[in-house]
Structure 1
Amino acid sequence: GNSLYNNYNKRDKSAQHIRVNHVKLHNKTSEIQSKPRIFCMITTTYANHESKAIHVRNTWAKRCDRHLFLSSRDNASLPAVRLCDTDDRPHLWCKTKEGMRYIYDKYIDDYDWFLKADDDSYVIMENLRHFLAQHQPHEPLYFGCKLQYRDVVYMSGGAGYVLSRAAVRQFVTAGIGNFTDSSQCLAGTDTGVEDLEMGKCLQHIGVTAGDSRDDSQMARFLPFDPMHMVLPNIDINQIAPWFKSYSVYPHRSGPGCCSPTLISFHYVPINIMYLMDFLLYHVNVMR
């Protein structure tokens, strides 16, 4: 199985400025005056190294300026780094928190933006760069699919969220580096609802939760898979009623669900990752 995917990986060619159906792919450097440097952190588990992480590496992650999988075991070929000993869902907070600390210590000055995604996320990196080129990495802010639980505004973990260099610096030094207020920044514990705890901490230390929608107020970061977002006969608000109640902004279903410059999906099976890669980067739609 993997040899087929690895052969596919070798055939990837640089994409032209193309449009496949409703998705615009931005990658002309002329459109991005100062090309943002993006470091991608992807949470995974040891059990998923060969079944998921390798396929993320073979598809969208190779378009990051650098990527690293946050895991419970080291793996040089992915590459993955061991940050926490436990792979269950509550320890996503451990991996994310320690991942931020790790990249702050090693890479903070080498990149402008730091994306956190999951091993079943799919990110169109060119569109993320194009979006981030409009913002300044020295400002403490972050973007994603904006949700709210009680008084905490946060970004969906699965859709991926991206922090500016300044936001990472504040998170590590003023957030988890400050043990005086553990109710707001869970520095001393390794378990928690990762995206909610991240949002709570960033909100507490003054990092702005930005609006990532396009000029038509259409979503760019999506917390569901493409099928459930774009099929005309599926209402995402009925399938996942929590989303309607948690989402800060209203969301549409069907072909008009999303921005033409959309950035991410979640819950993407590996076969769909390769399919999306093929359609976006290997197919030219003749106009």
Structure 2
Amino acid sequence: MTNSAVQCHIESRFYTSRDGLRLHARDYVPFDAAHEQNLPVICMHGLSRNARDFDLLAKHLASHPQTPRRVMAFDYRGRGLSAYDKNWSNYNVLTEAEDIVSGLNALGIEHGIFIGTSRGGLITFVLAGMRPTALKGIVLNDIGPVIDGAGLMQIRSYLQQAPRPKNWSEAIEAQKKIMGKSFPALTEEDWLFEAECRYSQKDGVLSADYDPHLADTMKGLNAGDRLPTAWPQFIGLRHLPILVIRGENSNILSKETLEQMSAVHPKMQQLHIEGQGHAPMLHTSGLDDAIAEFCAKI
């Protein structure tokens, strides 16, 4: 269970990308000076998500009584508090990985444990080639070297027909309608958290907290397309401690892919989360404690 007595300082950090965009990250710094001897954690969210997804997990890790550690949760360009890009084609994994490197440099982080949810995991694969010494451990949340095409098509459909709720009650009901079958384990508190992560309110109007042009990046995607895989990148991570989390009802990370990943990396740890789909909430089902334990061993 997430520690309710938060013992950390939370601050928004802004930095500039290589091409001049103002980007944002949430910085969770423990009050306990002991955190300086523990590896920091870098959190990277899914395609249309933002840094708020990691808020409760980050507070738990930063406030941990035995192993407090600094946590950075990034907003990619076009999401959350980061600036939108006038050229939507820059919403790609390579550019976003470069943005993370710029953020690490600006915030003085040389290395750490990387947590990647969905697209964040793909960015982790790119970072492994771009800045290999930065990665000391990896948590992959419902993502692997092979992406299930059916799940990707569902994400595309959501982006193209995103709900436009008039209030928070409608926002919660919209998410239940979209995600309910895959996430029967969620509580009312979880659904509120989901809505508050996905939407932001400006001048009394609720809207999804990402650039609508993000949907343009998936226009050319078709159900029968052969999707690229990232096996070479994953194989290159065999020397690192890895924890893979899979939702029971995931339509992005298949059981077969997870088995193949385990064959490549026999020491890889796995967690299977019942009653959740793509992607499990990292502060539920004891995941926050499991992640804290994984980090403590690195």
Q: TM-score, normalised by structure 2?
A: 0.36
